[in-house]
Amino acid sequence: MNETPSASNLDAGPPATGADVPAKKDENFFSFLLWLALGVIVLRSFIVSPFNIPSESMLPRLLDGDYLFATKWSYGYSKYSLPFSVPLIPGRLFARQPERGDVVIFKAPPGNDVDYIKRVIGLPGDEVQVKGGQVWLNGKPVPKVRIADFVLPVTPNTHCYGPEFEGTGKDGRKVCNYPQFQETLPNGKSYNVLDLGQTPQDDTGVYVVPEGQMFLMGDNRDNSLDSRFPAVEGEGIGIVPQANLVGKAAVMMFSTNGSAEWLKPWTWFTAARWSRIGGTF
């Protein structure tokens, strides 16, 4: 007996083909990209974010060519936590004051659009002064002890500040030998600084840190436009509002001496300063 097709069979239409599959795959791919982008934004805004060091103002701790991760939760969140400083966060949420000796990333006045990295020296109410190249905090000198010279190999992204610092390392390579000192803040935080000689910024007046602000200095004391200089673009940062904080330096993720070439992949490895990777602050 011949079967008569039912209405449901007639309405079903032709069987599905592979013609619809690429559209579905494209939809899934773009959805994946959207979620990936969102995840990266959340990660970089609220958890950790990478930063690179383009100068030598924080020698000897940080070298030109260093790349580090900074924690974003350490001092709270503001619009400066977000990409391009999008003003979506009012004020500062979960605000926390940094400690003396912290290495912080912040937006530098007056434009508040450039990331800087310096060390916290003074907090609200502190009196900060530099006399003869030594930091004084609240009327007392911060201990500064001479230690072995900082030896920095000469590479494409490093140079010696003058012939008096030039030398030769044990391997015959050119190096820079810089006078190095260890400072210890009242809270016990110790770190190394460079003092290359007498400069005008080695003697300052007394700075009183206002409420909600911080006095910042570079560890390379004679090559750092920091809070000793007025907040003029390209000339200094002045005393910086804590509201401008972006994050706290946490761990070194990579470092290069600047000799790598894109068209020579093997140089990506020979240029790496492997011993610096993984260092904490």
Catalytic amino acids?
A: 57, 118
Q: Give the pair of three-digit tokens for residue 184.
A: 């210890």
Question: Residue 219 gets which letter from DSSP?
Answer: S
Which residues contact residue 175 at a Cβ distance below 8 angstroms, ignoring those fewer than 6 apart?
151, 152, 153, 154, 166, 167, 168, 169
- 124-157 burial, b at 16+ Cβ within 10 Å, e below that, comes to eebebbbeebbbbbeeeebeeeeeebbebebbeb
Q: Do residues 90 and 96 lie in contact, with contact meaning Cβ atoms separated by under 8 Å?
A: no
Amino acid at 271: A
Distance separating the N- and C-terminal Cα atoms of the chain: 87
